[in-house]
Structure 1
Amino acid sequence: MGLKTSKYLLLSRKDTWVRPYFKKYKKLLLLVLFLGMMTFFCGSALMFNSGYLISKSATHPVNILLVYVPIVLTRAFGIGRPAFRYVERLASHNWVLKMTSDIRLKLYRSLESKAMQARGTFQSGDVLGILAEDIEHIQNLYLRTIFPTLIAWLLYGIIVVIFGAFSLVFAGIMLLLIGVLVIVFPLVSVLMNQAKIYRRKEKRHELYGKLTDSILGVGDWQYSGRYEEFLDHYNQAEKEVRAQDEPLNQATRRLNTCIQFIFGGVVIALFIWAGMYYYQTGHAGLNWIAAFVLAFFPLMDAFAPIATAVTEMPMYEDSAKRLDALPKPKSTSGENERNFCLKDTTIQLENVSFQYGAQAKWLLQNFNWTIESGKTTAVLGKSGTGKTTLSQLIHGDLSPTTGRVLIGGTSVEKLDTNIHQLIGVLSQSPHLFDTTIINNVRLGNIKASDEEVYEAIVRSGLQELVERLPDGVHTMVEEGGKRFSGGEQQRIALARILLQDVPIVIIDEPTIGLDPITERKLLQTVFEVLKEKTVIWITHHLVGIEAADEVLFLENGNIEMHGAPKELKKTNKRFQQLYFLDQAE
């Protein structure tokens, strides 16, 4: 399984989160490996020169010049080691920061490109787990495993070759002993601890999900008088995670003990070999014994971490697989976006059928519908009849099970990242960020000037509110927009849509939770400022229905009622009944 893990991460062509960066930043990778090699070379050479210098000085040389070169080299290697280490850390972290930036951008595009599917597939805790843990694991894969392992293997090969020049027998002994450190121990450790690592990671992801869910609902825990139960619930989950750490910690301690014994064996073997090799050369040759033995000690820092780092490879594999399971990000060609132009915005649904799964019921069946440019269409129906699903199909968040959705004769799927230039969405609960009003509105068009943003604020009916605020448009909205009422939040979101200036706007029940007076005022503003655009209005009742050019009533995946509001009031008894009930409320 350890070999399988390594193969998946480093060789699999399916992997799009680890392997591509070797090629993209290959020059920086070579620089990191060179600097790492030079760091350990300087450390080993420093100890080698120091050992020779101590031994040679103990023989009382008649002239300082006999040890002058080792003295100079000792100074040079002493300065070189921290210098190379510092530059190597800069280069390796530069690699990781570049890679992390790419991964986070790719993750955002992956989730953004299929936002509705992501919301339905992943819990908030899952996304936080990916951001906080999986990407961190990929970072550590480079810093703690790939870079050190490659450097250790290079050193391993160089050491065997060097000793081979002196003695093939001793080179074979070094090949065996160091091979145990860099090959045997890592593989054995992975095989023994893989299941434990998977269990620990699974528990951690469960903890992310439980904690996020509990935090989002902490108010309800407190209102129900079960706050202590909430704390106990979390503490128990965290205890289960810690319980998975102890077996791994014990295995790591045992592994480190074995590694120290191997190191001791290497040092003893070096001492014996050097003593035997140089004993034959006489008194002068004995000065090299300490040099060879001491030179190996800095290399312990290269070989010791490998087994522990490789042990975590299954954790990295799981992170890579979780990232690969995300929706593939859409192509983002800036050139395509700049040149994009679609004059006709007629919306056509041709034989569209949709269901969320093979066993689920059909929300839409052989649905055909055309919305002309500049028209306002109200889509009504009971909860669960597919009103919101219909809007998601038009926006491209969902793909039809059969049939196709066209805008201006072009398939929505082909519009790809250009869809935001065509369609804006005013949803039930738009998210307002913890920044100023002007920054929240500017989200609709990040390149808009302050004057354009303010014009959108005025058109959305917020001028009076803004003028009352001490800081005006620079007033902080606070997290989730909690500083403002529901109607005011919707107007801020409407200002975003106006600033986005798209030809098609989907309004998905924006007045839920508002009082009747606020609801009517908001709808009046919405339809007044959007009167030149194509509007698809998802609603569950008939307040303000007079603003629509046509009404579409969905039931069982089909159109049960269709026509202009004025005509339906006169001729359709069911519409008359629904309208009467709404007015009575």
Structure 2
Amino acid sequence: MNFFKTFKHDTWVKPYIKQYKGLLISVLILGFFTVLCATGLMFTAGYTIDKAATHPYNILLIYVPIILTRGFGIGRPVIKYIERLRSHNWVLKITSDLRTRLYKTLESDASFFNEHHKAGDIMGLLSEDINHLQDLYLRTVFPTVIAYIVALVASIAMGFFNPSFGFFVLLLCVVEIVIVPLVSVAIESARRERQKALKSDLYTKLTDNILGVDDWVISGREDDFKKLSASTIAELDASKDKSKAFRRNRDFVLQFIFAVIMIVMLIFTNIHMTQNQEMANFTAAVFLAALQLSDTFVPVSQGFEEWPQYRDSINRLNTVQPVEPNLPEQVELDPKDFNGLDLENVSFEYSSDSPILIKNFTQKITKGEKLALLGPSGIGKTTILQLILGDLIPQKGTITVNDLNVQQIQDHREQIFSVLNQNPFLFNTSVMNNVRLGNEDKSDSEVKEALARVGLKDLLDSLPDKYNTSVGENGSRFSGGEQERIALARILLQDAPVVLLDEPTVGLDPITENALLETFFDVLKDKTIIWVTHHLQGVNHVDQVVFVTDEGIEMQGAPDDLYRTNSHFKELYEMDAGLEAD
């Protein structure tokens, strides 16, 4: 029931089986002929030996079996090799499609997945679940279907000589490839699901540990850090040891059942199928051939046993669906035509049971204007940037660019907006490649010019590899300020008219922060800037300051005017300046 329930609404397995059904059928046929060659080899070899032992009066009587022995001996590895090529080709085609689909699904709305999935879960999706689907075909589907086909053909073959015996052989095969595998699943199911949960927990812990390793070291708790996942790993290892012990015992039972089948077959054939020497030779050869079926039947239980893991992966993948954008008709806006951005009575809340985060927020930002957005933490400053980008849609109010709703320019929004946040991600490749991410069509000279404008020319020229210097993992080769400058060079290369700065200098020392802000507003002087910041350092660079509280906009105006006329602003400014001076 669980099997059929899993696939009832599946969209990650069934479509690809249909898409590549021709290749699948060829794999199953080749798998059957591989088994047929293996049994045929034993049959003809046994028959040839028995026939030769009876001293045939003419060598030609065993010449055909000798040729068949050679043919089956050559055919078995050849067909097996072709079957492996075809089966892995089939699986790789499917997993390639699955990975492409998964990456596109994750990419379709990155903000949605960051909000609803932990990083460890996404790691599990990428590294575990697709691999489980691959194993589902190679270790369960193919061996099981081939075993069923072989069991049916063998039973019919036995039934040709004696219908009752053929039916009896079929029943024993059912025990071997149906009953025992189902019992195996029932016994191992809970243990396998527990192992899956432990692995998922380890992925999450691993992500947290790596991202927070500096804090563990700084707090002097290196030993606690090392022991953090020890109990989970120990439990997982113990569970795996129990699974290994169970598999050994189960395989022994399967071999015992198969031995019973062989003994019964031997007794039956000796009683009913040895009336003459020719029949005895044939019967002995059939018995030898049947011995090869053990290698076909035993793996079925292993495949069945792993079904709970596959089911969990299929169910989890089926919860990952692309977020339908449901966008209005798209319009391509020429960046040169940008003249302003309007937010009109914008209200937004994340859910109906949460407080309204943004209430009736109105702002008119003209081309080239520099605006600083301040307010307490959690008030929704970054959310306003997400609304401007179109990642979020307000429940009330409108956001327009040149009188176009921002949702109408989503297909080409990178031409209008560029973003620099507090943790710009730098890929583990060269400085040139990281900057060129802003615009892949730019030449090397244009990339170098952008790096020179952000003040990195002298630094890069002093390095052995200069502009081809690797930035290291997540930019570890460079300081925080230098990372921000590399990210700023990307923005210059992107050349969008609106730049959103989301606290890009947080965590930097005052001197570095001040120098960086000077660079930002110098190189972006012809851009429209919306700058989210948590304090007033560098506020003299902007045209407008907007201070937001949970009640709405508390104050707004030019920094100089607010300093002269607003006592609260003056108090905050002097307090901030005093903290920086300390």
**TM-score if structure 1 supplies the norm length?**
0.90
| Partner residue in 1 for 2:125 | 130
In structure 1, give the amino acid aligned to 2:375: G
Per the alignment, residue 390 of structure 1 pairs with 384
Aligned AA for 1:12?
A: K
Measured after TM superposition, the shift of residue 340 of structure 1 is: 4.9
Moved over 6 A (4+): none
2:216 is aligned to: 221
Q: Does 1:467 align with 2:461?
A: yes
Q: Tell whether 2:351 aligns with 1:354.
A: no
Of the structure 1 ranges 344-353 and 243-252, higher mean CA displacement relative to structure 2 is found in 344-353
Q: Distance in 1 between matches of 2:178 and 2:409?
A: 51
Task: Give, in angstroms, the shift of residue 374 of structure 1.
Answer: 3.9
Counterpart Cα distance in 2 of 1:239 and 1:504:
53
Q: Deviations over 1:138-196 (max 9, x none)?
A: 22112111222222222233333333433322221122111122222222222232222
Given that 1:426 and 1:508 are in contact with CA atoms closer than 8 Å, whether structure 2 keeps it comes out as: yes
Q: Give per-residue Cα distances to partners, 1:375-395, cap 9 Å, x unaligned.
A: 332211111111112112223
Q: Are 1:109 and 1:329, in contact at CA under 8 Å, matched by a contact in 2?
A: no
The correspondence of residues 98-113 of structure 1 with structure 2, limited to 5 A, is 98-113=93-108
- The amino acid of 2:4's aligned partner reads K
Q: Identify the match of residue 189 of structure 1 among 184, 195, 198.
A: 184
Match of 1:519 in 2: 513
Secondary structure of the 1:430 match is coil
Q: Does 1:249 align with 2:244?
A: yes
| Compared CA separation, residues 522 and 224, structure 1 to 2 (3 A) | closer
| Aligned match for 2:203, one of 205, 208, 213 | 208
User: In terms of mean alpha carbon deviation, does 496-505 or 58-67 score higher?
Assistant: 496-505
1:12 and 2:8 correspond: yes
Structure 2 segments unaligned to the other structure (5+ residues): none
Matched-pair contact (CA < 8 Å) for 1:367–1:557? no
Structure-2 change in CA distance of 1:409 and 1:141 (3 Å) = farther
| Superposed counterparts of 1:22-421, under 5 Å | 22-280=17-275, 282-326=276-320, 328=322, 340-341=332-333, 345=338, 346-401=340-395, 405-408=399-402, 412=406, 418-421=412-415
- Contact (CA 8 Å) 1:379, 1:538: kept in 2 or not? yes
- When residues 62 and 352 of structure 1 are mapped into structure 2, their CA distance, relative to the original with a 3 A threshold, is farther
What is the deviation of 1:263? 0.9
CA distance in 1: counterparts of 2:411 and 2:141, whole angstroms: 35
Q: Distance in 1 between matches of 2:410 and 2:296?
A: 48
Kindly indicate whether the alpha-carbon contact (under 8 Å) linking 1:362 and 1:557 is maintained by their aligned counterparts in 2.
no
Distance 1:238 1:450 in 2: 48
Residue type at the aligned position of 2:155: V
Matched, 1:429 2:426: no
TM-score (norm. length: structure 2) = 0.90
Q: Is the 8 A contact 2:429 2:470 kept in 1?
A: yes
- Would the aligned equivalents of 2:345 and 2:360 in 1 still touch at CA under 8 Å? yes
Deviation at 1:60, TM superposition (A): 1.4
Query: 1:505-544, aligned counterparts within 5 Å?
Result: 505-544=499-538
Residues 383, 258 of structure 1: CA spacing in aligned structure 2 closer, same or farther, 3 A cutoff?
same
Please report how far the alpha carbon of residue 490 of structure 1 lies from its aligned counterpart in structure 2 after TM superposition. Answer: 0.4
The CA deviation at 1:238 is 1.0
CA RMSD of superposed structures (Å): 2.8
Quote the residue 2:554 is aligned against.
560
- In structure 1, give the amino acid aligned to 2:538: G
Letter in 1 for 2:319: A
Percent sequence identity is 47
CA distance 1:518–1:220, change in 2 (3 Å): closer
What SS does structure 1 have at the residue aligned with 2:438?
coil
Q: For residues 185 and 113 of structure 1, what CA distance do their matches in structure 2 show?
A: 44
**Residue aligned with 2:355, SS:** coil
Cα displacement (A) at 1:308:
1.9
Is the partner of 2:273 in helix, strand or coil?
Answer: helix
The separation in 2 between residues aligned to 1:256 and 1:97, in whole angstroms, is 30
Higher deviation after alignment, 142-151 or 553-562? 553-562
How far, CA to CA, are the matches of 2:549 and 2:109 in structure 1?
27
C-alpha deviation, 1:416, in angstroms: 5.1
Query: Could you tell me how far apart the structure 1 residues matched to 2:353 and 2:96 are?
Result: 40
TM-superposed CA distance for 1:80, in Å, is 1.4
- The runs of 5 or more residues in structure 1 that have no matched partner are none
Change (3 A) 1:253 1:60: same
Q: 2:15 corresponds to which letter in structure 1? A: P
User: SS at 1:514's partner residue?
Assistant: coil
> How far apart are the structure 1 equivalents of 2:401 and 2:5?
41
Q: Is the CA contact (8 Å cut-off) linking 2:332 and 2:409 kept in structure 1?
A: no
Amino acid at match of 1:183: V
Q: Given residue 479 of structure 2, which amino acid in structure 1 is its aligned partner?
A: S
In 1, Cα distance between equivalents of 2:137 and 2:251? 22
* Larger deviation, residues 375-384 vs 527-536: 527-536
Do 2:451 and 2:486's aligned partners in 1 also have CA atoms closer than 8 Å? yes
Q: Distance in 2 between matches of 1:348 and 1:305?
A: 66
Q: Structure 1 residues 536 and 253, CA, compared in 2 at 3 Å: closer, same or farther?
A: same
User: Cα deviations across residues 424-443 of structure 1 (Å, max 9, x unaligned)?
Assistant: 21110112222211121122
**Displacement of 1:350 after TM fit?**
4.8
> Equivalent of 1:581, from 551, 567, 575?
575
Q: Residues 428 and 86 (structure 1 numbering): CA distance in 2 closer, same or farther, change over 3 Å?
A: same
Contact conserved, 1:363 with 1:557, CA < 8 A, in 2? no
**Contact 1:425-1:508 within 8 A present in 2 as well:** yes
2-side partners of 1:417 and 1:106: how far apart? Answer: 19
Q: Which amino acid aligns with 1:527?
A: F
State whether residues 376 and 534 of structure 1, in contact with CA within 8 Å, keep that contact through their aligned partners in structure 2. yes
What SS is found at the alignment partner of 2:354?
A: coil
Shift of residue 573 of structure 1? 3.5
| Counterpart residue identity of residue 181, structure 2 | P
Structure 1 residue 370: Cα displacement: 4.0
Partners in 1 of 2:219 and 2:365 — Cα distance? 48
Write the letter of the residue equivalent to 1:100: T
SS at 1:560 equivalent = strand
Question: Could you tell me how far 1:493 is from its partner in structure 2?
Answer: 0.6
